[in-house]
Structure 1
Amino acid sequence: MKPAQKDAYMLILEAIDTGLYKPGDRLVESDLAERFGVSRTPIREALQRLETQSLLARDGRSLIVASLDHNQLSELYVVRADLEGLAARLAARHATSEEVRVLRDMVEEDRALLGQPAAMARANRRFHKMIHLASHNRYLVQQLDLVHRTMALMATTTLAAEGRDKNALAEHDVIVAAIESRDEAKAEKALKDHISKAFMTRLKSDARNHDALH
């Protein structure tokens, strides 16, 4: 798929998600059109849509990539934990044997990525997306897509924290084991615990960064 055929909205979203544009960066219509080889009209529409979704914010006349304050972060993780937990519960109930097999393969294959935060973050997104799809509930998938889009506003991955990638993978292993055994309550609890630990890691990392700046 050539970039020009790709949706301008998705192109900008991916650029934010991969850290090409970070919170506070200014997005200029002409620059984006040139970078992605897309005309300015779809870029303008994409920027309006991203602003409506609070992924972009106004800074005078400019549009910048939004950042999340402590309260927004806490609110996001509360919603994420409940929605992801529900996805795991439904996956334990509805996942096909092929979907369960793919989840298991992901955990095994991701061991090779330990120590590579960016690759691990991509693999982590794929893993969570697979659980969302395995829930077989389109409305839940839509809500989780929205949550994960907002998570793109976090400039760093918690998987970069020392030892977090190994622990996260062990947590993924427990989640998949619960889904494999069709234990809905255990799958839900395992995923909620996983999100809670990721949130604690982020809070610690933010506190350290805050100290470093003052």
Structure 2
Amino acid sequence: MDASPDGGTDSLADAAYGLIRNRVLDGDLEVGAPVSVLALATDLKMSRSPVRYAVERLLSERLLRRVSGTITVAAPDRYELLDSLAVRTQLEALAARLAAPRVDEQTLAELTGIHDRFRQAVQDRDQDAARRADADFHSAIQELAGNECLAESLERVRTQVILAAYSTAWITSRGPALLEHERVLRALQDQDGQSAEIAMIRHLNNLTTRITSEWRAQDTAEEATGRRRAAPRASGAR
């Protein structure tokens, strides 16, 4: 894309990218929903060029997918989610370790404020607010780590986890996640990089365990439903 002398074209493309990406990650554009460049451009009151650029960028990041000529919000399968979680765990652990010595009064206040929002959302059973606060907590630690290469790698893998979370009962993870965030925050407050790294690994390993446990429960329920539906047919065949 050719940029205008004042960088306006690039700025519009970046703005479109941010707006569309946030709509996906906030759940406003649901998993599996079709994505139209024309409709988005009209809604965002932009020309199609920056929106098309943003959509292509989101396709390259696997936040959107093109199937049979149609662009939709990506729906990561279970194997993709587990792969993303494994990578995310190691990257976020590194981010926590790098962030710990960089914590000062201002950054600690910001992290504490985000954590307080998360706690309030959990108490209010506000799933959307809790999800946003959870994402903000992890993003703040990522930014505090001060490593651009790590941030870029982590940003891409986190989007896959966030997308997949919409297809799980994430609400069941909020209580345990609140306690796990508190342990991470405490280690960061102490500027203890090793403890922050361990706390983050435990948090994300526990998240993986909760998700896989839910999958097993879903599969068991579906199998039981299938057996109940098949029983009358089998009985009638005699």
Letter in 2 for 1:160: I
Q: Are residues 1:32 and 2:45 paired?
A: no
Give the structure 2 partner of residue 76 of structure 1.
Answer: 84
| Structure 1 residues 12-27: aligned runs within 5 Å | 12-27=20-35
Give the structure 1 partner of residue 135 of structure 2.
Answer: 125
In the alignment, the residues of structure 2 paired with residue 75 and residue 7 of structure 1 have an alpha-carbon distance, to the nearest angstrom, of 30
* Contact in 1 for aligned 2:117/2:130 (Cα 8 Å): no
Q: Are residues 1:180 and 2:198 paired?
A: no
| 1:36 CA displacement | 1.7
Q: Are residues 1:171 and 2:180 paired?
A: yes
Letter in 1 for 2:180: E
Q: 1:188 to 1:26 in 2, by over 3 A?
A: same
In the alignment, the residues of structure 1 paired with residue 141 and residue 213 of structure 2 have an alpha-carbon distance, to the nearest angstrom, of 27
TM-score, reference length from structure 2: 0.79
Which protein, 1 or 2, shows the higher relative CO under an 8 Å CA cutoff with sep ≥ 6? 1
| 1:89 CA displacement | 0.7
Of the two, which has the highest radius of gyration? Answer: 2
Q: Which runs of 5+ in 1 are unaligned?
A: none
Q: 1:142 to 1:183 in 2, by over 3 A?
A: same
Q: Give percent identity, aligned residues only.
A: 27
Give the structure 2 partner of residue 60 of structure 1.
Answer: 68
Q: Are residues 1:148 and 2:122 paired?
A: no
In the alignment, the residues of structure 1 paired with residue 25 and residue 53 of structure 2 have an alpha-carbon distance, to the nearest angstrom, of 19
* Bigger share in helix: 2
- Quote the RMSD (CA, aligned, Å): 2.2
SS in 2 for 1:63: strand
Give the structure 1 partner of residue 107 of structure 2.
Answer: 99
Q: Are residues 1:137 and 2:147 paired?
A: yes
Moved segments of 4+, more than 6 Å: none
| 1:173 CA displacement | 0.8
In the alignment, the residues of structure 2 paired with residue 147 and residue 175 of structure 1 have an alpha-carbon distance, to the nearest angstrom, of 20
* Contact in 2 for aligned 1:21/1:65 (Cα 8 Å): yes
* Contact in 2 for aligned 1:95/1:135 (Cα 8 Å): no
In the alignment, the residues of structure 2 paired with residue 41 and residue 209 of structure 1 have an alpha-carbon distance, to the nearest angstrom, of 43
Deviations 1:125-152 (A, max 9, x none): 1111111122122222222222223334
Deviations 1:62-114 (A, max 9, x none): 11122112221111001110011011111112222321232233323432211
In the alignment, the residues of structure 1 paired with residue 32 and residue 72 of structure 2 have an alpha-carbon distance, to the nearest angstrom, of 5
In the alignment, the residues of structure 2 paired with residue 209 and residue 35 of structure 1 have an alpha-carbon distance, to the nearest angstrom, of 37
